Amino acid sequence: MARYSILSLARHALTGHRHWPRAWRDPDPKPRYQVIIIGGGGHGLATAYYLAKEHGITDVAVLEKGWIGGGNTGRNTTIIRSNYLLDANARLYEFSLKLWEGLSRDLNYNVMVSQRGMVNLAHSDTQMEAFARRGNAMRLNGIDAELLNREQVREMIPLLDFSAEARFPVYGALLQRRGGTARHDAVAWGFARGADQRGVDIIQNCEVTGIRVEGGHVRGVETTRGAIAADKIGIAVAGNSSHVAALAGLRLPIESHVLQAFVSEPLKPFLHTVVTFGAGHFYVSQSDKGELVMGGDIDMYNSYAQRGNMPMVEHTLSGGLALFPSFSRLRMMRLWGGVMDMSMDGSHIISKTPIEGLYLNGGWCYGGFKATPGSGWVFAYTIAQDRPHQLNEPFTLDRFARGVVFDEKGAGPTPNAH
Amino acid sequence: MLLIDCPWCGARDQVEFTYAGDATVRRPDPDAGETGFAEYVYLRDNPRGPHRELWQHTGGCRRFLVVERNTLTHEISGTAPPREGPQ
Protein backbone atom coordinates (compact mmCIF):
# COMPACT_ATOMS: atom_id res chain seq x y z
CA MET A 1 0.00 0.00 0.00
CA ALA A 2 1.44 3.33 -1.05
CA ARG A 3 2.34 5.94 1.53
CA TYR A 4 0.71 9.32 1.17
CA SER A 5 3.20 12.13 0.64
CA ILE A 6 3.68 15.37 -1.23
CA LEU A 7 5.31 13.33 -4.02
CA SER A 8 2.37 10.92 -4.36
CA LEU A 9 0.03 13.89 -4.40
CA ALA A 10 2.03 15.55 -7.18
CA ARG A 11 2.27 12.29 -9.16
CA HIS A 12 -1.49 11.71 -9.02
CA ALA A 13 -2.15 15.34 -9.86
CA LEU A 14 -0.50 14.72 -13.23
CA THR A 15 -3.18 12.15 -14.08
CA GLY A 16 -6.05 14.19 -12.67
CA HIS A 17 -6.31 12.13 -9.47
CA ARG A 18 -8.09 9.34 -11.37
CA HIS A 19 -5.78 6.50 -10.30
CA TRP A 20 -5.58 6.64 -6.52
CA PRO A 21 -5.69 3.05 -5.19
CA ARG A 22 -8.43 2.24 -2.69
CA ALA A 23 -7.37 2.91 0.89
CA TRP A 24 -8.36 -0.51 2.26
CA ARG A 25 -9.44 -3.90 0.89
CA ASP A 26 -13.00 -5.24 0.87
CA PRO A 27 -12.46 -8.91 1.79
CA ASP A 28 -15.02 -11.66 2.36
CA PRO A 29 -15.02 -12.97 5.91
CA LYS A 30 -12.81 -16.00 6.62
CA PRO A 31 -14.36 -18.88 8.62
CA ARG A 32 -12.12 -18.18 11.60
CA TYR A 33 -10.07 -15.38 13.17
CA GLN A 34 -7.96 -15.06 16.27
CA VAL A 35 -9.79 -11.86 17.26
CA ILE A 36 -13.08 -10.39 16.09
CA ILE A 37 -13.96 -6.77 16.84
CA ILE A 38 -17.68 -6.06 16.58
CA GLY A 39 -18.21 -2.48 15.43
CA GLY A 40 -16.31 -0.61 12.71
CA GLY A 41 -16.39 2.83 14.29
CA GLY A 42 -13.39 4.75 15.51
CA HIS A 43 -12.97 2.69 18.68
CA GLY A 44 -13.24 -0.69 16.92
CA LEU A 45 -10.89 0.30 14.09
CA ALA A 46 -8.40 1.84 16.52
CA THR A 47 -8.49 -1.37 18.57
CA ALA A 48 -7.72 -3.44 15.46
CA TYR A 49 -4.95 -1.03 14.47
CA TYR A 50 -3.23 -1.19 17.87
CA LEU A 51 -3.73 -4.97 18.12
CA ALA A 52 -1.68 -5.25 14.93
CA LYS A 53 0.80 -2.48 15.63
CA GLU A 54 1.49 -2.89 19.35
CA HIS A 55 0.83 -6.61 19.86
CA GLY A 56 1.56 -8.21 16.48
CA ILE A 57 -1.93 -9.72 16.32
CA THR A 58 -2.98 -9.40 12.69
CA ASP A 59 -5.45 -12.29 12.34
CA VAL A 60 -8.24 -9.86 13.15
CA ALA A 61 -11.60 -9.02 11.59
CA VAL A 62 -13.59 -5.84 12.23
CA LEU A 63 -17.29 -6.53 11.61
CA GLU A 64 -19.46 -3.52 10.79
CA LYS A 65 -23.19 -3.78 10.16
CA GLY A 66 -23.26 -0.69 7.93
CA TRP A 67 -20.26 1.21 6.66
CA ILE A 68 -17.23 2.13 8.74
CA GLY A 69 -17.56 5.36 10.63
CA GLY A 70 -21.28 5.55 9.79
CA GLY A 71 -22.37 5.52 13.42
CA ASN A 72 -21.26 7.85 16.17
CA THR A 73 -17.82 8.40 14.62
CA GLY A 74 -19.60 10.40 11.93
CA ARG A 75 -22.22 11.82 14.30
CA ASN A 76 -20.33 13.86 16.87
CA THR A 77 -19.03 17.40 17.26
CA THR A 78 -15.35 16.39 16.78
CA ILE A 79 -14.07 17.79 20.09
CA ILE A 80 -10.89 16.48 21.70
CA ARG A 81 -9.86 17.40 25.27
CA SER A 82 -8.72 15.95 28.59
CA ASN A 83 -10.12 18.48 31.09
CA TYR A 84 -11.42 15.96 33.64
CA LEU A 85 -11.58 16.20 37.41
CA LEU A 86 -11.28 12.57 38.48
CA ASP A 87 -7.79 11.06 38.27
CA ALA A 88 -8.77 7.88 36.45
CA ASN A 89 -10.69 9.79 33.77
CA ALA A 90 -8.02 12.49 33.43
CA ARG A 91 -5.23 9.94 32.93
CA LEU A 92 -7.03 7.99 30.20
CA TYR A 93 -8.20 11.08 28.30
CA GLU A 94 -4.76 12.71 28.59
CA PHE A 95 -3.16 9.53 27.26
CA SER A 96 -5.63 9.73 24.38
CA LEU A 97 -4.91 13.42 23.75
CA LYS A 98 -1.18 12.65 23.55
CA LEU A 99 -1.94 9.98 20.95
CA TRP A 100 -4.03 12.54 19.02
CA GLU A 101 -1.05 14.90 18.96
CA GLY A 102 1.02 12.39 16.97
CA LEU A 103 -1.79 10.56 15.19
CA SER A 104 -1.59 12.03 11.68
CA ARG A 105 2.09 11.13 11.45
CA ASP A 106 1.58 7.71 13.01
CA LEU A 107 -1.23 6.83 10.60
CA ASN A 108 0.27 8.62 7.57
CA TYR A 109 -3.21 10.09 7.29
CA ASN A 110 -4.21 13.67 8.04
CA VAL A 111 -6.79 13.56 10.82
CA MET A 112 -6.66 17.37 10.98
CA VAL A 113 -6.03 17.71 14.69
CA SER A 114 -6.46 21.37 15.54
CA GLN A 115 -5.46 22.33 19.09
CA ARG A 116 -7.42 25.54 19.05
CA GLY A 117 -8.23 25.53 22.76
CA MET A 118 -11.17 24.38 24.83
CA VAL A 119 -13.03 27.08 26.78
CA ASN A 120 -15.49 26.15 29.55
CA LEU A 121 -17.40 29.31 30.45
CA ALA A 122 -18.22 30.16 34.07
CA HIS A 123 -21.21 32.30 35.04
CA SER A 124 -20.96 32.59 38.82
CA ASP A 125 -18.38 32.77 41.62
CA THR A 126 -19.27 29.21 42.55
CA GLN A 127 -18.60 27.98 39.04
CA MET A 128 -15.26 29.82 39.01
CA GLU A 129 -14.28 28.03 42.21
CA ALA A 130 -15.36 24.67 40.79
CA PHE A 131 -13.27 25.37 37.68
CA ALA A 132 -10.28 26.41 39.80
CA ARG A 133 -10.57 23.08 41.56
CA ARG A 134 -10.86 21.18 38.29
CA GLY A 135 -7.94 23.12 36.77
CA ASN A 136 -5.77 22.34 39.77
CA ALA A 137 -6.73 18.65 39.57
CA MET A 138 -5.79 18.67 35.89
CA ARG A 139 -2.42 20.29 36.59
CA LEU A 140 -1.67 17.72 39.27
CA ASN A 141 -2.18 15.11 36.56
CA GLY A 142 0.21 16.94 34.24
CA ILE A 143 -2.52 18.41 32.04
CA ASP A 144 -2.47 22.06 30.96
CA ALA A 145 -5.18 24.28 32.45
CA GLU A 146 -5.62 28.02 32.82
CA LEU A 147 -8.25 29.98 34.66
CA LEU A 148 -9.33 33.04 32.65
CA ASN A 149 -11.04 36.14 34.00
CA ARG A 150 -13.85 37.97 32.20
CA GLU A 151 -11.52 40.31 30.29
CA GLN A 152 -9.33 37.45 29.08
CA VAL A 153 -12.43 35.66 27.80
CA ARG A 154 -13.63 38.83 26.07
CA GLU A 155 -10.27 39.10 24.31
CA MET A 156 -10.56 35.53 22.99
CA ILE A 157 -14.28 35.47 22.15
CA PRO A 158 -15.52 39.03 21.66
CA LEU A 159 -18.88 37.97 20.20
CA LEU A 160 -20.10 36.53 23.51
CA ASP A 161 -22.81 38.55 25.19
CA PHE A 162 -20.86 40.86 27.54
CA SER A 163 -23.72 43.35 27.81
CA ALA A 164 -25.47 44.28 31.06
CA GLU A 165 -28.56 42.41 29.84
CA ALA A 166 -26.83 39.03 29.46
CA ARG A 167 -28.98 36.30 31.00
CA PHE A 168 -25.84 34.50 32.24
CA PRO A 169 -23.04 37.08 32.61
CA VAL A 170 -19.59 35.70 31.84
CA TYR A 171 -17.42 35.57 34.98
CA GLY A 172 -14.47 33.77 33.43
CA ALA A 173 -13.53 30.39 32.05
CA LEU A 174 -11.38 27.31 32.34
CA LEU A 175 -9.13 26.97 29.30
CA GLN A 176 -7.29 23.90 28.05
CA ARG A 177 -5.14 25.19 25.20
CA ARG A 178 -4.26 21.69 23.98
CA GLY A 179 -7.94 20.83 23.50
CA GLY A 180 -9.56 21.35 20.14
CA THR A 181 -11.04 19.39 17.26
CA ALA A 182 -10.16 16.66 14.78
CA ARG A 183 -11.68 15.53 11.51
CA HIS A 184 -14.05 12.74 12.56
CA ASP A 185 -14.40 10.82 9.27
CA ALA A 186 -10.65 10.88 8.72
CA VAL A 187 -10.17 9.18 12.09
CA ALA A 188 -12.20 6.17 10.94
CA TRP A 189 -10.58 6.14 7.51
CA GLY A 190 -7.04 6.58 8.86
CA PHE A 191 -7.37 3.78 11.41
CA ALA A 192 -9.06 1.56 8.80
CA ARG A 193 -6.26 2.09 6.33
CA GLY A 194 -3.59 1.56 8.97
CA ALA A 195 -5.22 -1.63 10.26
CA ASP A 196 -5.80 -2.97 6.75
CA GLN A 197 -2.15 -2.37 5.81
CA ARG A 198 -1.15 -4.59 8.73
CA GLY A 199 -3.43 -7.43 7.62
CA VAL A 200 -6.70 -6.75 9.46
CA ASP A 201 -9.87 -7.65 7.50
CA ILE A 202 -12.45 -4.87 7.58
CA ILE A 203 -15.80 -6.40 6.73
CA GLN A 204 -18.68 -3.99 6.12
CA ASN A 205 -22.39 -4.76 5.73
CA CYS A 206 -21.92 -7.65 8.15
CA GLU A 207 -24.26 -7.49 11.13
CA VAL A 208 -23.64 -9.72 14.12
CA THR A 209 -26.88 -11.58 14.92
CA GLY A 210 -25.60 -13.98 17.57
CA ILE A 211 -22.64 -14.65 19.86
CA ARG A 212 -21.77 -18.31 20.46
CA VAL A 213 -20.80 -19.12 24.02
CA GLU A 214 -19.88 -22.65 25.14
CA GLY A 215 -18.87 -23.59 28.67
CA GLY A 216 -18.49 -19.97 29.69
CA HIS A 217 -16.09 -19.29 26.81
CA VAL A 218 -16.84 -17.34 23.67
CA ARG A 219 -16.50 -19.35 20.43
CA GLY A 220 -17.58 -17.06 17.62
CA VAL A 221 -20.38 -15.06 16.08
CA GLU A 222 -23.34 -15.57 13.76
CA THR A 223 -23.58 -12.81 11.18
CA THR A 224 -25.64 -11.84 8.16
CA ARG A 225 -22.66 -13.16 6.15
CA GLY A 226 -22.42 -16.50 7.93
CA ALA A 227 -20.88 -17.92 11.09
CA ILE A 228 -17.35 -16.85 12.00
CA ALA A 229 -15.31 -18.52 14.73
CA ALA A 230 -12.91 -16.63 16.99
CA ASP A 231 -10.85 -17.11 20.15
CA LYS A 232 -11.51 -13.60 21.40
CA ILE A 233 -14.25 -11.09 20.67
CA GLY A 234 -14.28 -7.39 21.49
CA ILE A 235 -17.51 -5.38 21.49
CA ALA A 236 -17.18 -1.69 20.54
CA VAL A 237 -20.63 -0.72 19.33
CA ALA A 238 -21.42 2.46 21.32
CA GLY A 239 -25.20 3.01 21.43
CA ASN A 240 -25.91 -0.63 20.58
CA SER A 241 -23.81 -2.00 23.48
CA SER A 242 -26.83 -3.37 25.38
CA HIS A 243 -28.26 -4.94 22.23
CA VAL A 244 -25.05 -6.75 21.27
CA ALA A 245 -24.14 -7.75 24.84
CA ALA A 246 -27.62 -9.28 25.18
CA LEU A 247 -26.68 -11.66 22.34
CA ALA A 248 -24.22 -13.16 24.83
CA GLY A 249 -26.74 -13.05 27.67
CA LEU A 250 -25.27 -10.00 29.43
CA ARG A 251 -27.23 -7.08 30.91
CA LEU A 252 -25.33 -3.81 31.12
CA PRO A 253 -25.47 -0.71 33.34
CA ILE A 254 -26.27 1.34 30.23
CA GLU A 255 -29.22 3.12 28.63
CA SER A 256 -29.20 4.33 25.02
CA HIS A 257 -30.19 7.95 24.44
CA VAL A 258 -30.17 10.14 21.36
CA LEU A 259 -27.97 13.26 21.21
CA GLN A 260 -28.52 15.81 18.47
CA ALA A 261 -26.01 18.11 16.83
CA PHE A 262 -26.30 20.85 14.24
CA VAL A 263 -24.27 22.55 11.52
CA SER A 264 -24.97 26.09 10.37
CA GLU A 265 -24.35 27.79 7.07
CA PRO A 266 -20.68 28.81 6.61
CA LEU A 267 -19.52 32.13 8.06
CA LYS A 268 -16.30 34.07 7.92
CA PRO A 269 -13.85 33.00 10.64
CA PHE A 270 -14.73 34.55 14.01
CA LEU A 271 -14.47 31.73 16.55
CA HIS A 272 -11.03 30.16 16.96
CA THR A 273 -11.69 28.03 20.03
CA VAL A 274 -14.21 25.45 21.20
CA VAL A 275 -16.69 27.09 23.59
CA THR A 276 -18.88 25.25 26.08
CA PHE A 277 -21.71 26.76 28.07
CA GLY A 278 -22.38 24.41 30.97
CA ALA A 279 -24.99 26.66 32.57
CA GLY A 280 -27.29 26.21 29.57
CA HIS A 281 -25.66 23.13 28.02
CA PHE A 282 -24.59 24.32 24.62
CA TYR A 283 -21.24 24.01 22.88
CA VAL A 284 -19.92 25.33 19.60
CA SER A 285 -16.85 25.43 17.40
CA GLN A 286 -16.26 26.73 13.89
CA SER A 287 -15.15 24.22 11.28
CA ASP A 288 -12.44 24.88 8.73
CA LYS A 289 -15.22 25.44 6.19
CA GLY A 290 -16.66 28.19 8.39
CA GLU A 291 -19.73 26.30 9.56
CA LEU A 292 -20.66 26.38 13.22
CA VAL A 293 -20.80 22.89 14.73
CA MET A 294 -23.14 22.89 17.73
CA GLY A 295 -24.62 20.53 20.28
CA GLY A 296 -26.32 20.40 23.67
CA ASP A 297 -28.28 18.01 25.84
CA ILE A 298 -29.50 14.53 24.97
CA ASP A 299 -33.22 14.20 24.27
CA MET A 300 -33.60 12.59 27.74
CA TYR A 301 -35.61 9.47 26.84
CA ASN A 302 -34.31 6.05 25.68
CA SER A 303 -33.81 5.95 21.93
CA TYR A 304 -32.02 3.99 19.22
CA ALA A 305 -33.51 6.14 16.45
CA GLN A 306 -30.45 8.22 15.39
CA ARG A 307 -32.77 11.20 15.19
CA GLY A 308 -34.23 13.46 17.84
CA ASN A 309 -37.15 15.80 18.26
CA MET A 310 -37.72 19.52 17.89
CA PRO A 311 -38.11 20.52 21.57
CA MET A 312 -34.44 19.73 22.20
CA VAL A 313 -33.44 21.59 19.04
CA GLU A 314 -35.18 24.68 20.38
CA HIS A 315 -33.73 24.18 23.87
CA THR A 316 -30.18 23.85 22.57
CA LEU A 317 -30.30 26.76 20.17
CA SER A 318 -31.97 29.05 22.71
CA GLY A 319 -28.97 28.31 24.95
CA GLY A 320 -26.73 29.25 22.05
CA LEU A 321 -28.58 32.52 21.53
CA ALA A 322 -28.24 33.45 25.21
CA LEU A 323 -24.49 33.17 24.68
CA PHE A 324 -24.15 34.60 21.17
CA PRO A 325 -27.10 36.93 20.38
CA SER A 326 -25.54 37.52 16.95
CA PHE A 327 -26.48 33.94 15.94
CA SER A 328 -30.17 34.89 15.84
CA ARG A 329 -30.48 35.00 12.04
CA LEU A 330 -28.21 32.05 11.38
CA ARG A 331 -29.66 29.25 9.26
CA MET A 332 -29.01 25.61 10.05
CA MET A 333 -27.88 23.37 7.22
CA ARG A 334 -27.97 19.94 8.85
CA LEU A 335 -28.96 18.24 12.05
CA TRP A 336 -28.44 14.65 13.07
CA GLY A 337 -28.75 12.33 16.04
CA GLY A 338 -26.35 9.77 17.43
CA VAL A 339 -27.19 7.00 19.88
CA MET A 340 -25.24 7.46 23.11
CA ASP A 341 -24.44 4.56 25.41
CA MET A 342 -25.17 6.43 28.65
CA SER A 343 -23.67 4.52 31.57
CA MET A 344 -24.92 4.58 35.14
CA ASP A 345 -22.01 6.68 36.44
CA GLY A 346 -21.26 8.73 33.32
CA SER A 347 -17.92 6.98 32.75
CA HIS A 348 -16.91 4.33 30.24
CA ILE A 349 -16.40 0.57 30.56
CA ILE A 350 -13.31 -1.05 29.01
CA SER A 351 -13.32 -4.44 30.59
CA LYS A 352 -13.28 -8.18 30.58
CA THR A 353 -16.73 -9.72 31.02
CA PRO A 354 -18.00 -12.76 32.95
CA ILE A 355 -17.61 -14.70 29.67
CA GLU A 356 -14.04 -15.81 28.91
CA GLY A 357 -12.68 -14.26 25.74
CA LEU A 358 -15.42 -11.63 25.51
CA TYR A 359 -14.41 -8.01 26.09
CA LEU A 360 -16.53 -4.87 26.30
CA ASN A 361 -15.72 -1.30 25.30
CA GLY A 362 -18.76 0.92 25.85
CA GLY A 363 -20.68 3.27 28.09
CA TRP A 364 -18.98 6.30 26.56
CA CYS A 365 -21.94 8.62 27.07
CA TYR A 366 -21.12 11.61 24.87
CA GLY A 367 -17.40 11.46 25.51
CA GLY A 368 -16.42 8.79 23.05
CA PHE A 369 -14.90 10.66 20.14
CA LYS A 370 -12.02 12.29 22.00
CA ALA A 371 -11.15 8.95 23.57
CA THR A 372 -10.87 7.09 20.25
CA PRO A 373 -7.10 6.51 20.05
CA GLY A 374 -6.61 5.96 23.79
CA SER A 375 -9.62 3.70 24.05
CA GLY A 376 -8.45 1.59 21.11
CA TRP A 377 -4.95 1.39 22.58
CA VAL A 378 -6.00 0.13 26.02
CA PHE A 379 -8.75 -2.12 24.60
CA ALA A 380 -6.18 -3.75 22.30
CA TYR A 381 -3.93 -4.26 25.33
CA THR A 382 -6.80 -5.78 27.33
CA ILE A 383 -7.69 -8.21 24.53
CA ALA A 384 -4.09 -9.15 23.70
CA GLN A 385 -2.98 -9.65 27.32
CA ASP A 386 -6.35 -10.86 28.67
CA ARG A 387 -6.00 -8.30 31.48
CA PRO A 388 -6.59 -4.56 31.68
CA HIS A 389 -3.88 -1.95 31.29
CA GLN A 390 -3.47 0.24 34.36
CA LEU A 391 -5.21 3.07 32.49
CA ASN A 392 -8.45 1.09 32.11
CA GLU A 393 -8.15 -1.12 35.18
CA PRO A 394 -10.58 1.10 37.15
CA PHE A 395 -13.22 0.98 34.39
CA THR A 396 -14.46 -2.56 34.88
CA LEU A 397 -17.96 -3.84 34.29
CA ASP A 398 -18.26 -5.01 37.91
CA ARG A 399 -17.36 -1.64 39.47
CA PHE A 400 -21.06 -0.81 39.86
CA ALA A 401 -21.81 -3.85 42.01
CA ARG A 402 -18.65 -3.08 44.03
CA GLY A 403 -19.67 0.55 44.51
CA VAL A 404 -16.47 1.94 42.94
CA VAL A 405 -18.09 4.21 40.36
CA PHE A 406 -16.58 7.23 38.57
CA ASP A 407 -19.30 9.83 38.67
CA GLU A 408 -17.61 12.97 37.29
CA LYS A 409 -20.78 14.99 37.71
CA GLY A 410 -22.14 13.46 40.91
CA ALA A 411 -25.50 12.72 39.31
CA GLY A 412 -26.01 9.18 40.61
CA PRO A 413 -27.35 6.18 38.70
CA THR A 414 -29.52 8.20 36.29
CA PRO A 415 -28.02 7.79 32.82
CA ASN A 416 -29.79 10.76 31.23
CA ALA A 417 -28.42 13.15 33.87
CA HIS A 418 -24.72 12.66 33.10
CA MET B 1 -42.41 15.64 18.44
CA LEU B 2 -44.00 13.10 20.76
CA LEU B 3 -47.72 13.34 21.49
CA ILE B 4 -48.32 11.65 24.84
CA ASP B 5 -51.84 10.69 25.88
CA CYS B 6 -52.07 11.42 29.60
CA PRO B 7 -54.74 9.12 31.10
CA TRP B 8 -56.09 12.06 33.12
CA CYS B 9 -55.55 15.13 30.87
CA GLY B 10 -55.64 13.77 27.31
CA ALA B 11 -53.09 14.07 24.48
CA ARG B 12 -50.39 16.66 25.21
CA ASP B 13 -47.07 17.80 23.76
CA GLN B 14 -43.98 15.99 25.13
CA VAL B 15 -42.60 19.24 26.55
CA GLU B 16 -45.22 18.98 29.35
CA PHE B 17 -43.69 15.67 30.49
CA THR B 18 -40.51 14.57 32.25
CA TYR B 19 -38.97 11.19 31.51
CA ALA B 20 -38.60 8.94 34.55
CA GLY B 21 -37.01 5.79 33.15
CA ASP B 22 -37.69 2.09 32.70
CA ALA B 23 -41.07 1.08 34.18
CA THR B 24 -40.25 -2.61 34.40
CA VAL B 25 -37.66 -2.20 37.16
CA ARG B 26 -38.95 -3.60 40.45
CA ARG B 27 -37.43 -3.16 43.88
CA PRO B 28 -36.28 -6.63 44.99
CA ASP B 29 -37.13 -8.36 48.24
CA PRO B 30 -35.16 -7.07 51.23
CA ASP B 31 -33.31 -10.40 51.39
CA ALA B 32 -32.23 -10.21 47.71
CA GLY B 33 -28.69 -9.51 48.81
CA GLU B 34 -26.06 -7.17 47.36
CA THR B 35 -26.24 -8.71 43.91
CA GLY B 36 -30.01 -8.32 43.71
CA PHE B 37 -29.87 -4.68 44.78
CA ALA B 38 -26.91 -3.86 42.54
CA GLU B 39 -28.86 -5.24 39.56
CA TYR B 40 -31.93 -3.24 40.62
CA VAL B 41 -29.98 0.02 40.83
CA TYR B 42 -27.65 -0.38 37.87
CA LEU B 43 -28.70 -2.94 35.26
CA ARG B 44 -31.29 -2.24 32.54
CA ASP B 45 -32.62 -4.26 29.62
CA ASN B 46 -32.35 -1.14 27.43
CA PRO B 47 -34.32 -2.79 24.58
CA ARG B 48 -34.05 -1.76 20.93
CA GLY B 49 -37.80 -1.85 20.23
CA PRO B 50 -40.85 -1.75 22.53
CA HIS B 51 -40.08 -0.17 25.89
CA ARG B 52 -42.32 0.33 28.93
CA GLU B 53 -41.31 3.54 30.61
CA LEU B 54 -42.45 6.02 33.24
CA TRP B 55 -43.13 9.66 32.45
CA GLN B 56 -44.39 12.35 34.78
CA HIS B 57 -46.85 14.99 33.58
CA THR B 58 -44.85 17.74 35.29
CA GLY B 59 -46.43 20.53 33.23
CA GLY B 60 -49.96 19.25 33.91
CA CYS B 61 -51.51 17.01 36.55
CA ARG B 62 -48.04 15.97 37.86
CA ARG B 63 -49.07 12.32 37.93
CA PHE B 64 -46.86 9.47 36.73
CA LEU B 65 -47.97 7.35 33.80
CA VAL B 66 -46.67 4.33 31.91
CA VAL B 67 -45.92 4.87 28.22
CA GLU B 68 -45.31 1.98 25.86
CA ARG B 69 -42.99 3.41 23.21
CA ASN B 70 -40.75 1.92 20.53
CA THR B 71 -37.17 3.12 21.07
CA LEU B 72 -36.28 2.50 17.43
CA THR B 73 -39.18 4.39 15.83
CA HIS B 74 -40.41 6.59 18.74
CA GLU B 75 -43.94 5.30 18.02
CA ILE B 76 -46.17 5.33 21.12
CA SER B 77 -48.51 2.34 21.21
CA GLY B 78 -50.29 3.13 24.48
CA THR B 79 -50.35 4.89 27.83
CA ALA B 80 -51.86 3.84 31.14
CA PRO B 81 -51.88 4.73 34.84
CA PRO B 82 -48.87 3.05 36.48
CA ARG B 83 -50.88 0.38 38.29
CA GLU B 84 -53.18 -0.54 35.41
CA GLY B 85 -50.71 -1.10 32.56
CA PRO B 86 -49.39 -4.57 31.73
CA GLN B 87 -46.94 -5.34 34.53
Number of H helices, E strands in chain B: 1, 6
Q: What is the arithmetic mean of pLDDT over A296-313?
A: 94
Query: Would you call B35 and A242 a contact, using CB atoms and an 8 Å cutoff?
Result: no
Q: Is the domain of A236 the same as that of A369?
A: yes
User: What's the average model confidence in pLDDT over A393-405?
Assistant: 96
Burial A182-206 (b: 16+ CB within 10 A, else e): bbbbbbbbbbbbbbbbbebbbbbeb
In chain B, the residue whose alpha carbon lies closest to the alpha carbon of A343 is B42
Nearest to A281 by CA among A317, A240, A234, A329: A317
Are A300 and B19 an interchain contact pair (Cβ–Cβ within 8 Å)? Answer: yes
> Is A344:A253 a contact under the CB 8 Å cutoff?
yes
**pLDDT > 70: what percent of chain A?**
100
Task: Assign residue A307 the CATH number of its domain.
Answer: 3.30.9.10
Task: Grade residue A96 by pLDDT with cuts at 50, 70 and 90.
Answer: very high
CB A47 within 8 A of CB A379: yes
Q: pLDDT-derived band of residue A1, with 50, 70 and 90 as boundaries? A: low
How close is the nearest chain A Cα to the Cα of B75, in Å? 11
Residue A177 has pLDDT above 80, yes or no: yes
Residues A337 and A350 in one domain: no
Clarify whether residues A220 and A305 are in a common domain: no
Residues from A in contact with B at Cβ < 8 Å: 240, 242-243, 246, 251-256, 300-305, 309-311, 344, 400-401, 413-414, 416
pLDDT band at A262 (very low <50, low <70, confident <90, very high): very high
Q: Which of A343, A369, A400 is the last residue of a domain?
A: A343
In chain A, what residues touch B19 (CB-CB under 8 Å)?
Answer: 300-301, 416
pLDDT at A363: 97
Q: What CATH number is attached to the domain comprising A413?
A: 3.50.50.60
Same domain for A221 and A339, yes or no, is no
Residues of chain B with pLDDT under 50: 87
Long-range CB contact pairs, A279-282, < 8 A, 24+: A279/A121, A279/A123, A279/A124, A279/A127, A279/A168, A280/A168, A280/A318, A280/A319, A280/A322, A280/A323, A281/A316, A281/A319, A282/A316, A282/A317, A282/A319, A282/A320, A282/A323
pLDDT, mean of residues A223-241: 98
Query: Do A126 and A188 belong together in one domain?
Result: no
pLDDT 10s digits, A27-73:
999 999 999 999 999 999 999 999 999 999 999 999 999 999 999 99
Chain A residue whose CA is closest to B68: A302
Size of interface A-B (CB pairs under 8 A): 71
- CB–CB contact B35 A401 (8 Å): yes
Q: Residue A67: what pLDDT? A: 97
Round the average pLDDT of chain B to a whole number and report it: 94
Residue A156 has pLDDT above 80, yes or no: yes
The reported pTM is 0.96
CA pair distance A131, A125, nearest whole angstrom: 10
Enumerate the H helices of A221-300 as residue ranges. Answer: 241-247
**How remote is the C-alpha of A187 from its chain's centroid?**
10
Compute the average pLDDT of residues A403-418.
92
Q: Kindly list the residues from chain B whose CB atom is less than 8 angstroms away from the CB atom of residue A209.
A: none
Domains in chain A, number: 2
Identify the architecture of domain B3-80 in CATH: 2-Layer Sandwich (3.30)
**Mean pLDDT of the residues in chain A:** 96
Which residue is closest to B33 within chain A, CA to CA?
A401
Average pLDDT over residues A195-222: 98
Residue A273 and residue A332 share a domain: yes
- How far does B23 lie from chain A, in Å, by closest CA? 12
Q: Say whether both A262 and A393 belong to one domain.
A: no
CA distance B1 to chain A (A): 5
Same domain, A97 and A191: yes
**Alpha carbon of A152 to those of A60, A135, A156, A211, B7: distances in Å?**
50, 16, 6, 55, 54
In a domain, A40, yes or no: yes
Residues spanned by the domain of A269: 118-179+256-343
Which ranges in A112-269 belong to alpha helices (H)? 125-140, 150-156, 184-197, 241-247
pLDDT at residue B85, as a whole number:
53
Last residue of a domain, one of A311, A343, A375: A343
What is the reported pLDDT for B1? 85
Asked whether residue A403 is assigned to any structural domain, the reply reads: yes
- Closest Cα in chain B, distance from residue A329 (Å): 24
Instruction: For residue A21, tell me if it sits in a domain.
Output: no
Give me the pLDDT at residue A280, please. 86
Could you tell me if A239 and A214 lie in one domain? yes
- Of A328, A343, A358, which one is at a domain's C-terminal end? A343
Which is it for the CA torsion A118, A124, A125, A129, positive or negative?
negative
What distance in Å separates the CA atoms of residue A61 and residue A267, rounded to the nearest whole number? 42
